A and B are shown apart, each in its own frame.
Chain A
Amino acid sequence: MTDPAGTDPEPLIDVRGLEKVFTVRRKAGRLRRVREEVRAVDGITFQVPRGEMVGYIGPNGAGKSTTIKMLTGILVPSGGRLRIAGIDPARERTRLARRIGVVFGQRTTLWWDLPLADSYELVRRMYRIPDAVYRANLARCVELLDLAPLLAVPVRQLSLGQRMRGDIAAALLHDPEVLYLDEPTIGLDVISKAKVREFVREVNAERGTTVLLTTHDLTDIEQLCRRVMVIDHGRLVYDGALDGLRAAADGERTLVVDLERELPPIDGVPGARTVRVEGPRQWLVFPAAQSAAPLVTAVAERYPLVDLSLREPDVESLIAELYARGATGTEPGRRTPDGQGAPA
């Protein structure tokens, strides 16, 4: 889908050494204030080619939102170089605004007191969207996001799921080249989440819209993005394929075997160790990067095997692992070629 970013001559999103430093004044004594520097984003570099969908994840306070706010022109960076479609967001915010769409899960970009339809009409005029484009885009959004019954309802009366769908439509009416989704599924039920994901996938496939997605729901990433960037303490600790994340985090896979009868823990299989025995069923763990095939062969040769299953590490535990290592300071910015990093 993409070549490893950086070799792309003109990536749509080009971020080099991006920094954001906040000065906070902290109380120290009755009147004294101490100035402290907080490096919310501490030298981030990445490129996103046109048409890619990238997940951007990290724990609370890692610098995700601060990055997005600089990419959209809300915040002025303290350092580094930043170009979106060749535009410097800090210098040409309004020109950039016409070319990007932004959805915040936490707050609406619509006019709170206006019916959805009026909000869209205002968006049309403010972005000066040509009539034909507007009508086509609106019709499509209304159909795919089931907005028809909501158009006459003021935004403040919409449920969270309805509002989110309304927001996503508003962000796409002007055919943006980049769509930023900041926690778009937060607080949504399973059905709404699925609907939002499906729609984003379609927009990306049909329009080639580049998508940058931050989320706490890793299912969003698993279902939408092949590439994922992990940020912690203002630095990128991983940038590469989702599959590669498993290897990078030293995740472990689990082989569950059902034997014919109760036996002592399986022993002597290279690279694997038995962690649990429950009657005839045993659990073996081995590094995620290692192939499961020789392991299965080794077990089958020496034990009466009835059934087996393989469990992948869930992304959540992988990321927890990455965060933990990030805190102790292991090599940052590790990357694997996109889509190629899957363990056999």
Chain B
Amino acid sequence: MADDGGRPAAGRDGWRAAAAQGLYAYGLIVRMWVRSTLAYRASFVMMAVGNFAACALDFVAILLMFSRIDALGGFSLPEVAFLYGTSGLSLGLADLLLGSMDRLGRRVRDGTLDVLLLRPAPVFAQVAADRFALRRLGRISQALLVLGWSVTRLEVDWTVGRVLLVVLMAVCGTAIFGAVFTTGAAFQFWAQDAAEVQNSFTYGGNALLQYPPTVFAKDLVRGVTFVVPLAFVNWLPALRLLGRPDPLGLPGWVDFLGPAVAALMCAGAALAWRYGLRGYRSTGS
């Protein structure tokens, strides 16, 4: 967890203490929101079902497409479903954990970020946990269902290694999307209305990753590989898993760079966050 606005960290111990403090505060605030959500159970169930249905409609669109065609960009329905499930799961997890961060711009504008700076907890944890929305489990469960179905239909020999690769994909994908959420939030320290830019990379990126890379122009694929490396969320590892060639013809080891890319993006996001918080100027009154 990135702590205070670039205030010099007091060595590794200080950093660890801040991380522990952040997790503790995150847990506290999340628990509180979950409790207050569950106080209105019917409302929560409806919201979660709504979230589930909204995501499911995406997949219905894919199903409709496949009622006319047998393959999309050379990918069968279970293969597309696999891409859909892995991307949706990663985004869903990141959205659940950090999805409230796009409210940062509003907090900066109306000055309520000041209040978070008065509490004995890292601001990052407080912003991330703010309005923790349990209804986002809807997206996660829908993605898991599609992923589960695709796994039973894929002609893949499920060795332990391959199962672990899928788990690793989900973890790295979550980290990559989480880094995008955080970087986008950090950007809102300067441009308070930048939430839409960030959304185009997260929700928009997810819409992209649901389809096989072969249906897109090569320049676009290059963009999401080298510029905003969303391709590491599922495309590259999934291609390896499904035994498909990489449309960019990159060397094989690139498929396994997911964890490194995720770690780099998280480090970059942490730096951006620190820098943004450090430069925070508060409002007039």
Contact = CB atoms under 8 A, between A and B. Distances in A.
Interface of A: 22, 61, 65, 69, 72-76, 90-95, 97-98, 100, 102, 104, 106-109, 111, 113-114, 118, 122, 125-127
A118 B118 contact: no
Contacts of B36: 113-114, 118
Q: Pick the most buried of B4, B18, B284, B285: most chain A CB atoms within 10 A of its CB.
A: B285
Contact of B120 (A22, A72, A76, A94): A94
Interface of B: 3-5, 7-8, 18, 21, 25, 28-29, 32, 36, 111-112, 114-115, 117-122, 278, 280-282, 284-285
Contacts of A104: 114-115
B28 A125 contact: yes
Given A75-B282, A76-B5, A97 B115 contact: no
Interface of A is mostly: loop
B192 to A, nearest CB: 15
Q: Which of A72, A76, A97 is most buried by chain B, counting CB atoms within 10 A of its CB?
A: A76
27 contacts: A61-B284, A65-B284, A69-B114, A69-B282, A73-B117, A74-B117, A74-B282, A75-B280, A75-B282, A76-B5, A76-B7, A91-B7, A91-B8, A93-B7, A94-B3, A94-B18, A94-B120, A94-B121, A95-B120, A97-B118, A97-B120, A98-B120, A102-B118, A104-B115, A108-B115, A113-B36, A126-B121
B8 A107 contact: no
Nearest to B283: A65
B118 A94 contact: no
Given A114-B36, A118-B36, A126 B118 contact: no
Contacts of A92: 7
B4 A94 contact: yes
A10 to B, nearest CB: 23
Contact of A65 (B32, B280, B285): B285
A106 B284 CA distance: 11
B112 A107 contact: yes
A77 to B, nearest CB: 12
Contacts, number: 69
Nearest to B121: A126
Contacts of B119: 97, 126
Contact of B122 (A22, A65, A94): A94
Nearest to A94: B120
A73 B29 CA distance: 22
A102 B282 CA distance: 16
Contacts of A69: 114, 282
A284 to B, nearest CB: 42
A125 to B, nearest CB: 5
Contact of A107 (B25, B115, B284): B115
Contacts of B278: 76
Nearest to A111: B32
Best-buried of B7, B8, B28, B121 by chain A (most CB within 10 Å): B7
Contacts of B121: 94, 126
B118 A74 contact: yes
Given A90-B7, A113-B36, A126-B121, A74 B114 contact: yes
Given A72-B118, A76-B5, A118-B36, A126 B111 contact: no
Nearest to A102: B118
B32 A122 contact: yes
Nearest to A70: B282
Contact of B285 (A98, A106, A111, A122): A106
A73 B118 CA distance: 7
Contacts of B7: 76, 90-93
Nearest to B25: A126
A127 B284 CA distance: 28
Contacts of A100: 118
A74 B277 CA distance: 10
Contacts of B5: 76
A93 B282 contact: no
A255 to B, nearest CB: 41
Nearest to A99: B120
B4 to A, nearest CB: 5
Nearest to B110: A107
A107 B119 CA distance: 15
B66 to A, nearest CB: 43
Nearest to B122: A94
Given A91-B8, A109-B115, 5 more contacts: A107-B114, A111-B32, A126-B28, A126-B121, A127-B120
Nearest to B279: A76
A69, A98, A114, A126: most-surrounded residue (chain B CB, <10 A)? A126
Contact of B118 (A90, A95, A109): A109
Contacts of B3: 94
Contacts of B111: 106-107
Nearest to A106: B285
A75 B229 CA distance: 34
